[in-house]
Amino acid sequence: MATLDTKLVNVLGDRTAKVLYKNFGYMTIADLLRHYPRRYMVRGELTDIQTLQEGDEVTILAQIHSAVNRPLHGRKGSIFEVVVTDGSAKLSLTFFNQAWREKELRVGRQGLFAGKVGSFNGKRQLAHPEYELIPDGNDVDSAVNKFAGKYLPVYSATSKLPSWKIAQCLELVIDALDEVEDYLPEEIKSKHGYPALHEALVQVHNPADLDHADRARERLTFDEAFLLQLLLARRRIEIQQLDAVARPIRRGGLLENFDSELPFELTAGQKKVSSEIENDLSAPHPMHRLLQGEVGSGKTIVALRAMLAVVDSGGQAALLAPTEVLASQHVRTFEKLLGPLAQGGTLDAAENSTRITLITGSQNAASRRESLALAGSGDAGIIIGTHALLNESVQFQDLGLIVIDEQHRFGVEQRDLLKTKASIPPHVLVMTATPIPRTVAMTIFGDLDISTLRELPLGRQPITTHVIPALEKPHHVERAWERIREEVAQGRQAYVVAPRIVAGTDDDADMDFLFGEETPTLTSVEELGPQLHSGPLSGLRVAPMHGKLSNEVKDQTMRAFAQGEIDVLISTTVIEVGVDVPNATVMVIMDADRFGVSQLHQLRGRVGRGTSPGLCLLVTNAVTESPARIRLDAVAVSQDGFELSRIDLEQRREGDVLGSSQSGARSHLKLLKVLRDEPLIELARLDALSIVEKDFSLKEYPRLADELEILEQDSSSQFIDKG
Ligand code: ADP
Ligand code: MG
Least confident of 169-183, 343-357, 446-460: 343-357
- Give the environment of ion ligand 2: residues with CB less than 5 A: 578
Judge whether 7 and 30 are in contact, CB under 8 Å. Answer: no
Q: Is the pLDDT of residue 670 over 90?
A: no
Q: What is the mean pLDDT of residues 46-55?
A: 87
Q: How far apart are CA 287 and CA 189, in angstroms?
A: 34
DSSP state of 340: G
- pLDDT tens-digit readout, 272-317: 999 999 999 999 999 999 999 888 899 999 999 999 999 999 999 9
- Average pLDDT of the chain to the nearest whole number: 87
- pLDDT tens-digit readout, 614-626: 999 999 999 988 8
Residues flanking ligand 1, CB < 6 Å:
264-267, 270, 293, 295-301, 457, 578, 580, 582, 609
Question: Per CATH, which fold does 39-154 belong to?
Answer: OB fold (Dihydrolipoamide Acetyltransferase, E2P) (2.40.50)
Q: Which atom of ligand 1 is nearest to the CA of 303?
A: 6
Q: Is the pLDDT of residue 352 over 80?
A: no
Nearest CA to ligand 1 atom 23: 266
Nearest CA to ligand 1 atom 3: 296
Residues 6+ apart with CB under 8 A from 464: 613, 614, 615, 616
**Closest-lying ligand to the alpha carbon of 295?**
1
- pLDDT tens-digit readout, 422-446: 889 999 999 987 788 877 887 777 7
Q: Output the CA 578–ligand 2 centroid distance in Å.
A: 4
Q: Which atom of ligand 1 is nearest to the CA of 333?
A: 16
**Better-scored residue on pLDDT, 44 or 212:** 212
Q: What is the mean pLDDT of residues 360-370?
A: 92
**Closest-lying ligand to the alpha carbon of 607?**
1
Q: What is the mean pLDDT of residues 95-102?
A: 88
pLDDT of residue 658: 61
Q: Cβ–Cβ contacts within 10 Å for residue 237, how many?
A: 15
Q: Which atom of ligand 1 is nearest to the CA of 265?
A: 23
pLDDT of residue 661: 42
Of the pLDDT bands very low, low, confident and very high (cuts 50, 70, 90), residue 181 is very high
Q: Output the CA 256–ligand 1 centroid distance in Å.
A: 19
Superfamily of domain 463-638: P-loop containing nucleotide triphosphate hydrolases (3.40.50.300)
Q: Is the pLDDT of residue 717 over 50?
A: no
pLDDT of residue 672: 84
Q: Output the CA 237–ligand 2 centroid distance in Å.
A: 29
What is the residue extent of each domain of the chain?
39-154, 463-638
Q: Which atom of ligand 1 is nearest to the CA of 609?
A: 11
- pLDDT tens-digit readout, 496-522: 999 999 887 555 444 443 444 444 478
* Ligand 1 probe mutation, 297, 301, 325, 460, most atoms within 8 A of CB: 301
Q: How far apart are CA 282 and CA 569, in angstroms?
A: 43
- pLDDT tens-digit readout, 392-409: 999 999 999 999 987 665
Of the pLDDT bands very low, low, confident and very high (cuts 50, 70, 90), residue 547 is confident
- pLDDT tens-digit readout, 148-157: 567 888 898 7
Burial bucket for residue 699 (CB in 10 Å: 0-12, 13-18, 19+) = exposed
Q: Output the CA 298–ligand 1 centroid distance in Å.
A: 3
Q: Which atom of ligand 1 is nearest to the CA of 295?
A: 3
Q: How far apart are CA 451 and CA 430, in angstroms?
A: 10
